[in-house]
Amino acid sequence: MTKKPNASSRPRLSGRAFLKGAGAGAMIAAIAGCAHGGGATLADQGEPAAKAKNVILFVGDGMGVSTVTGIRILAGQMQGQSGEDYVLSWEEFPNVALSKTYNTNQQVPDSAGTATAIMSGVKTKAGFIGVGPAPKRTECDVSLNHRLTSILEDAEMHGLSTGVVTTARLTHATPATTYAHVPERDWEADADMPAEAIAQGCKDIASQLIDFPGNGVEVAMGGGRANFLPASDADPEYRKKTGKRKDGRNLAEEWLRHDGAAYAWNKQQFNDIDPSTTDHLLGLFEPGHMQFSLDQPNDPGGEPTLAAMTEKAISILNRNPDGFFLLVEGGRIDHGHHEGQATHALHDGVAMAEAVAMADRLTDDDDTLIIVTADHSHTFTLAGYPTRGNPILGKVYGNDDFGEPETQPALLDDNLPYTSAGYQNGPGAVTSLPRPDLTNVDTEAEDYHQQSLIPRSSETHGGEDVAIYAKGPGAERANGVLEQNVIHDIMAKAFGFDSE
């Protein structure tokens, strides 16, 4: 499936080019180091010999280093091992770096600003989708002059096929930054937007996916069906999962205007899709976010796994002889952490590791660059002195004076047991003494909230650096401590976009 490049009115802006014309945003941008300041840059490294035909970017939303460690141990223990020395699929990649995740206006970032940096090469404010930092948040009219070109849009303009796969809503922050431009991440459907912004010419995120210029995005799968369907839609095909759009548009039906297009909203329909004859695939498997991996029903009316969606996406996109760009997001790692439920966060991380392994099997290291990273971290910690092989979500059992495992849970100074996994803040905060006794509590249950220090209804992001893992053409540039926006430049350079 060869495509001709399509025209686009969106300018291609590099970090430095944007700063020169940022006006009121220049001071913020300069402080933030948007133009690759304060860390290693691509100019510090040698020219790669090979060019990538394909680029696959995996984003584990909220997957900080402590979370990766937890995922690793859980994955190993699920296979009957002690877990600590287990190796996740991306941990076999030869190139590793660190990414600085701050937004231009926040020390601890949000997903919209960080994902925009990854996709466009320009750091920006929290809450912005594909827009530079000059406007104020929700300032529609100004934002229209500060749109940033994403790596997906660049790929489309170069005739490549493109795809977006997520376990969150397709209109959620990270996936939206590949195709949309709004100064407010919450504008997922027209019903979410103020009338003034609509009158000024801003479009909701869902409509921007469907109205994408030219031949459009080839594959888009995730949740968020309500943002694509009209509020009046009571079609029994969608069961009780009707829409929220006020403009009356049925964007799922509009998707079918593409040649060779297909739409699926459950697992059976997904399984029936033939990649060899499908040119465009839209999958909307839940009205909101998809289910946590532990909750996915194993029935035809359920939803596919992240690995299955990754496999289907690659099978469709790989038919383009010119290559493809694909974003795959493990979006619900983040949501598990926000709920203070490490069980969900880590199990969804294991599901993403399976998706990475699937992509690695289906592609060739000689022509495909695979990057695995996170947009930001969380306040998730692993602490105490548990013995080797201690269940990662269980209560801590320590070692005795001879270095041998104890047979009773370790006790803290309050003579109560504790878990290794915990949070700095969140729903599981200890708000009064004595601390809740965990002796008879199943701390590995899905609904258990790990204990935290500071009470908060939703646990927050963390501000520390996150890891970048890379393999394939151009992967050697993932080296050192990098500004997060450099991830975009690694991908663009691998494709050869920056040499034109």
Query: Looking at the annotation, which residues are catalytic?
Result: 111
Please name which of 43, 44, 47, 49 lies closest in space to residue 14, comparing C-alpha atoms: 43
Give me 484's structure tokens: 């997060």
DSSP state of 371: E
Q: For residue 422, list its beta bridge partners.
A: 381
Torsion sign, CA atoms 455, 460, 464, 469: positive
Spatial separation of the C-alpha atoms in residues 338 and 64, rounded to whole Å: 13
How many other CB atoms are there within 10 angstroms of residue 298's CB atom?
Answer: 6
Q: Are 207 and 366 in contact (CB under 8 A)?
A: no
Residue whose pair of structure tokens reads 């994955």 in the numeric block: 75
Please list the residues that pair with 480 across neighbouring strands. 97
Buried-state track 70-83, b at ≥16 Cβ within 10 A, e below 16: bbbbbbbbeeeeeb
From residue 215, alpha-carbon distances to 182, 257, 261 in Å are 22, 11, 11
Distance CA 221, CA 215 (A): 17
State the Cα–Cα distance between residues 325 and 161, nearest whole angstrom: 6
Residue 409's CB: how many other CB atoms inside 10 A? Answer: 18
CA pair distance 207, 330, nearest whole angstrom: 23
